Structure 1
Amino acid sequence: MAQYEYLLLMVACVLITLPLEFLLRARVYRRLPLMLPSVLVVVLVFGLWDLVGIARDHWTYNPEFITGIHLGIMPLEELVFFVVISLCALLSYEGVSTVLNYFSKRKRREGGSSDVA
Protein backbone atom coordinates (compact mmCIF):
# COMPACT_ATOMS: atom_id res chain seq x y z
CA MET A 1 0.00 0.00 0.00
CA ALA A 2 2.93 2.34 0.64
CA GLN A 3 3.65 2.45 -3.10
CA TYR A 4 0.35 4.28 -3.62
CA GLU A 5 0.85 6.91 -0.90
CA TYR A 6 1.84 9.67 -3.33
CA LEU A 7 -1.15 8.97 -5.57
CA LEU A 8 -3.49 8.71 -2.57
CA LEU A 9 -2.28 12.11 -1.41
CA MET A 10 -3.17 13.53 -4.84
CA VAL A 11 -6.63 11.93 -4.62
CA ALA A 12 -7.07 13.55 -1.19
CA CYS A 13 -6.13 16.94 -2.65
CA VAL A 14 -8.75 16.57 -5.36
CA LEU A 15 -11.40 15.40 -2.90
CA ILE A 16 -10.71 18.30 -0.53
CA THR A 17 -11.01 20.96 -3.24
CA LEU A 18 -13.71 19.32 -5.41
CA PRO A 19 -16.60 20.70 -3.33
CA LEU A 20 -15.49 24.20 -4.35
CA GLU A 21 -16.63 23.36 -7.89
CA PHE A 22 -20.16 22.72 -6.70
CA LEU A 23 -20.65 24.61 -3.43
CA LEU A 24 -19.01 27.85 -4.50
CA ARG A 25 -19.64 27.37 -8.21
CA ALA A 26 -15.94 27.73 -9.05
CA ARG A 27 -16.66 26.38 -12.56
CA VAL A 28 -13.10 25.25 -13.18
CA TYR A 29 -13.98 21.83 -14.62
CA ARG A 30 -16.86 23.30 -16.64
CA ARG A 31 -14.57 25.75 -18.45
CA LEU A 32 -12.23 23.29 -20.14
CA PRO A 33 -10.93 25.75 -22.79
CA LEU A 34 -9.69 28.02 -19.98
CA MET A 35 -8.54 25.28 -17.62
CA LEU A 36 -6.48 23.18 -20.02
CA PRO A 37 -3.98 25.87 -21.09
CA SER A 38 -3.45 26.86 -17.45
CA VAL A 39 -2.67 23.31 -16.43
CA LEU A 40 -0.64 22.64 -19.56
CA VAL A 41 1.70 25.58 -18.88
CA VAL A 42 2.38 24.28 -15.36
CA VAL A 43 2.94 20.73 -16.57
CA LEU A 44 5.33 21.86 -19.30
CA VAL A 45 7.38 24.32 -17.25
CA PHE A 46 7.66 22.25 -14.09
CA GLY A 47 7.86 18.99 -16.03
CA LEU A 48 10.95 20.29 -17.86
CA TRP A 49 12.34 21.57 -14.57
CA ASP A 50 11.85 18.14 -13.01
CA LEU A 51 13.34 16.31 -15.96
CA VAL A 52 16.49 18.41 -15.70
CA GLY A 53 16.63 17.86 -11.93
CA ILE A 54 16.19 14.10 -12.29
CA ALA A 55 18.69 13.83 -15.16
CA ARG A 56 21.30 15.77 -13.15
CA ASP A 57 20.60 13.70 -10.01
CA HIS A 58 19.54 16.76 -8.04
CA TRP A 59 16.65 14.75 -6.64
CA THR A 60 15.21 11.26 -6.70
CA TYR A 61 12.00 9.56 -5.66
CA ASN A 62 11.77 6.92 -2.98
CA PRO A 63 10.67 3.75 -4.82
CA GLU A 64 8.85 2.61 -1.69
CA PHE A 65 6.24 5.37 -2.12
CA ILE A 66 5.69 5.36 -5.90
CA THR A 67 4.11 2.82 -8.23
CA GLY A 68 7.21 2.34 -10.37
CA ILE A 69 5.44 3.58 -13.50
CA HIS A 70 7.66 6.10 -15.27
CA LEU A 71 7.14 8.41 -18.22
CA GLY A 72 10.70 8.44 -19.46
CA ILE A 73 12.69 9.19 -16.33
CA MET A 74 9.84 10.93 -14.50
CA PRO A 75 7.60 8.96 -12.14
CA LEU A 76 3.91 9.02 -13.04
CA GLU A 77 3.14 10.49 -9.63
CA GLU A 78 5.15 13.62 -10.40
CA LEU A 79 3.13 14.34 -13.53
CA VAL A 80 -0.08 13.69 -11.60
CA PHE A 81 1.17 16.13 -8.95
CA PHE A 82 1.53 18.94 -11.50
CA VAL A 83 -1.97 18.36 -12.87
CA VAL A 84 -3.69 17.93 -9.51
CA ILE A 85 -2.03 20.84 -7.74
CA SER A 86 -2.75 23.11 -10.71
CA LEU A 87 -6.42 22.16 -10.58
CA CYS A 88 -6.54 22.58 -6.79
CA ALA A 89 -4.96 26.03 -7.11
CA LEU A 90 -7.47 27.06 -9.78
CA LEU A 91 -10.38 25.77 -7.70
CA SER A 92 -9.08 27.60 -4.63
CA TYR A 93 -8.57 30.82 -6.56
CA GLU A 94 -12.05 30.69 -8.10
CA GLY A 95 -13.59 29.75 -4.75
CA VAL A 96 -11.96 32.67 -2.97
CA SER A 97 -13.01 35.00 -5.81
CA THR A 98 -16.59 33.81 -5.47
CA VAL A 99 -16.62 34.44 -1.72
CA LEU A 100 -15.01 37.88 -2.09
CA ASN A 101 -17.51 38.85 -4.81
CA TYR A 102 -20.38 37.71 -2.61
CA PHE A 103 -19.25 39.86 0.31
CA SER A 104 -18.49 42.81 -1.96
CA LYS A 105 -22.02 42.71 -3.45
CA ARG A 106 -23.52 42.25 0.00
CA LYS A 107 -21.63 45.26 1.35
CA ARG A 108 -22.85 47.42 -1.57
CA ARG A 109 -26.45 46.35 -0.96
CA GLU A 110 -26.16 47.25 2.72
CA GLY A 111 -25.27 50.85 2.08
CA GLY A 112 -21.82 50.96 0.64
CA SER A 113 -18.48 51.55 2.13
CA SER A 114 -17.67 53.02 5.52
CA ASP A 115 -14.36 54.38 4.20
CA VAL A 116 -13.92 58.12 4.58
CA ALA A 117 -11.87 59.90 1.97
Structure 2
Amino acid sequence: MERLTYVAMLVFVVVATLPLEVLLRTRVYARLRRLALVVVCVGVPFVLWDLAATAAGHWRFDHDQTLGLDLPGGLPVEEWLFFLVVPLASVMTLEAVRSMRGWPVGDEAGVPRDAPGGPGEAS
Protein backbone atom coordinates (compact mmCIF):
# COMPACT_ATOMS: atom_id res chain seq x y z
CA MET A 1 0.00 0.00 0.00
CA GLU A 2 2.93 2.32 0.67
CA ARG A 3 3.80 2.14 -3.05
CA LEU A 4 0.66 4.15 -3.80
CA THR A 5 1.57 7.09 -1.54
CA TYR A 6 2.73 9.50 -4.23
CA VAL A 7 0.10 8.57 -6.80
CA ALA A 8 -2.61 8.77 -4.11
CA MET A 9 -1.55 12.33 -3.33
CA LEU A 10 -1.78 13.24 -7.03
CA VAL A 11 -5.22 11.66 -7.36
CA PHE A 12 -6.39 13.51 -4.24
CA VAL A 13 -5.29 16.87 -5.70
CA VAL A 14 -7.11 16.24 -8.99
CA VAL A 15 -10.27 14.94 -7.29
CA ALA A 16 -10.29 17.81 -4.79
CA THR A 17 -10.11 20.47 -7.51
CA LEU A 18 -12.38 18.77 -10.07
CA PRO A 19 -15.64 20.05 -8.54
CA LEU A 20 -14.44 23.61 -9.16
CA GLU A 21 -14.82 23.00 -12.90
CA VAL A 22 -18.45 22.04 -12.49
CA LEU A 23 -19.66 24.05 -9.49
CA LEU A 24 -17.92 27.34 -10.29
CA ARG A 25 -17.76 26.90 -14.07
CA THR A 26 -14.03 27.66 -14.17
CA ARG A 27 -13.82 26.30 -17.75
CA VAL A 28 -10.21 25.20 -17.29
CA TYR A 29 -10.77 21.97 -19.23
CA ALA A 30 -12.67 23.89 -21.91
CA ARG A 31 -9.56 26.00 -22.57
CA LEU A 32 -6.99 23.25 -23.07
CA ARG A 33 -4.61 25.45 -25.06
CA ARG A 34 -4.25 27.84 -22.12
CA LEU A 35 -3.78 24.93 -19.73
CA ALA A 36 -1.16 23.36 -21.99
CA LEU A 37 0.76 26.65 -22.13
CA VAL A 38 0.80 26.83 -18.34
CA VAL A 39 1.95 23.23 -18.02
CA VAL A 40 4.74 23.73 -20.56
CA CYS A 41 5.91 27.06 -19.11
CA VAL A 42 5.97 25.69 -15.58
CA GLY A 43 6.80 22.07 -16.26
CA VAL A 44 9.81 22.34 -18.54
CA PRO A 45 12.07 24.36 -16.23
CA PHE A 46 11.09 22.33 -13.18
CA VAL A 47 11.57 18.98 -14.93
CA LEU A 48 15.03 20.12 -16.04
CA TRP A 49 15.79 21.26 -12.52
CA ASP A 50 14.50 17.95 -11.12
CA LEU A 51 16.62 15.96 -13.56
CA ALA A 52 19.73 17.97 -12.70
CA ALA A 53 19.13 17.79 -8.95
CA THR A 54 18.57 14.03 -8.93
CA ALA A 55 21.56 13.43 -11.21
CA ALA A 56 23.73 15.50 -8.85
CA GLY A 57 22.45 13.52 -5.87
CA HIS A 58 20.75 16.48 -4.17
CA TRP A 59 17.65 14.35 -3.65
CA ARG A 60 16.18 11.03 -4.59
CA PHE A 61 12.81 9.31 -4.69
CA ASP A 62 11.84 6.60 -2.26
CA HIS A 63 10.88 3.74 -4.56
CA ASP A 64 8.98 2.14 -1.67
CA GLN A 65 6.48 5.01 -2.02
CA THR A 66 6.24 5.07 -5.81
CA LEU A 67 4.99 2.60 -8.39
CA GLY A 68 8.58 1.80 -9.29
CA LEU A 69 8.21 2.84 -12.92
CA ASP A 70 10.94 5.28 -13.90
CA LEU A 71 10.70 7.30 -17.09
CA PRO A 72 13.50 9.06 -19.02
CA GLY A 73 16.02 10.69 -16.74
CA GLY A 74 15.32 8.26 -13.94
CA LEU A 75 12.33 10.19 -12.60
CA PRO A 76 9.36 8.13 -11.38
CA VAL A 77 6.18 8.41 -13.43
CA GLU A 78 4.55 10.13 -10.44
CA GLU A 79 7.12 12.93 -10.60
CA TRP A 80 6.34 13.54 -14.27
CA LEU A 81 2.63 13.57 -13.41
CA PHE A 82 3.33 16.01 -10.57
CA PHE A 83 4.31 18.62 -13.16
CA LEU A 84 0.94 18.17 -14.83
CA VAL A 85 -1.24 17.91 -11.72
CA VAL A 86 0.15 20.83 -9.71
CA PRO A 87 -0.17 23.43 -12.50
CA LEU A 88 -3.67 22.08 -13.23
CA ALA A 89 -4.67 22.47 -9.58
CA SER A 90 -3.09 25.93 -9.44
CA VAL A 91 -4.94 27.16 -12.52
CA MET A 92 -8.17 25.56 -11.32
CA THR A 93 -7.83 27.32 -7.95
CA LEU A 94 -6.99 30.67 -9.54
CA GLU A 95 -9.96 30.39 -11.89
CA ALA A 96 -12.22 29.44 -8.98
CA VAL A 97 -11.17 32.51 -7.01
CA ARG A 98 -11.55 34.64 -10.13
CA SER A 99 -15.01 33.23 -10.71
CA MET A 100 -16.11 33.87 -7.12
CA ARG A 101 -14.70 37.41 -7.11
CA GLY A 102 -15.94 38.27 -10.60
CA TRP A 103 -12.47 39.21 -11.86
CA PRO A 104 -12.38 39.29 -15.67
CA VAL A 105 -9.21 38.07 -17.36
CA GLY A 106 -7.99 37.87 -20.96
CA ASP A 107 -10.68 37.37 -23.56
CA GLU A 108 -13.34 37.76 -20.87
CA ALA A 109 -12.20 41.26 -19.85
CA GLY A 110 -14.78 43.04 -22.00
CA VAL A 111 -12.33 43.93 -24.77
CA PRO A 112 -13.92 43.20 -28.15
CA ARG A 113 -12.13 40.38 -29.94
CA ASP A 114 -11.39 42.61 -32.96
CA ALA A 115 -10.23 45.66 -31.01
CA PRO A 116 -6.56 46.65 -31.27
CA GLY A 117 -4.71 44.60 -28.67
CA GLY A 118 -7.80 42.45 -28.12
CA PRO A 119 -7.61 38.65 -27.97
CA GLY A 120 -8.65 38.27 -31.61
CA GLU A 121 -5.87 40.46 -32.98
CA ALA A 122 -3.07 38.64 -34.77
CA SER A 123 0.41 39.27 -33.40
What interval of TM-score do these two structures reach, taking the shorter chain for normalisation?
0.7 to 0.9
Unaligned runs of 5+ in 2: 104-123
Deviation at 1:82, TM superposition (A): 1.1
Deviation at 1:61, TM superposition (A): 0.7
- What residue identity is the alignment partner of 2:91? L
Partners of 1:42 and 1:67 lie apart in 2 by 24
Partner of 1:80: 81
Partner of 1:109: none
The one-character-per-residue Cα deviations of 1:16-75 (angstroms, maximum 9, x if unpaired) are 000000101111111011111111122211000000000000000111100111112111
Partner of 2:91: 90
- What residue identity is the alignment partner of 1:13? V
Q: Secondary structure at the match of 1:28?
A: coil
Residue 66 of structure 2 corresponds to residue 63 of structure 1: no
Partners of 2:91 and 2:78 lie apart in 1 by 20
- What residue identity is the alignment partner of 1:15? V
Partner of 1:106: none
Q: Using the aligned pairs only, state the percent identity.
A: 37
After TM superposition, the structure 1 = structure 2 runs for residues 20-59 of structure 1, keeping only pairs within 5 Å, are: 20-59=20-59
TM-score normalised over the length of structure 1: 0.84
Q: Secondary structure at the match of 1:61?
A: coil
- What residue identity is the alignment partner of 2:94? Y
Cα RMSD for the two superposed structures: 1.1
- What residue identity is the alignment partner of 1:83? L
Q: Which segments of structure 1 move beyond 3 Å, counting only runs of 4 or more?
A: none
Partners of 1:7 and 1:42 lie apart in 2 by 20
Partners of 2:43 and 2:58 lie apart in 1 by 19
Point out which structure has higher relative CO (alpha carbons under 8 A, 6+ apart). Answer: 1
- What residue identity is the alignment partner of 2:97? V
Deviation at 1:99, TM superposition (A): 0.5
Aligned length: 102
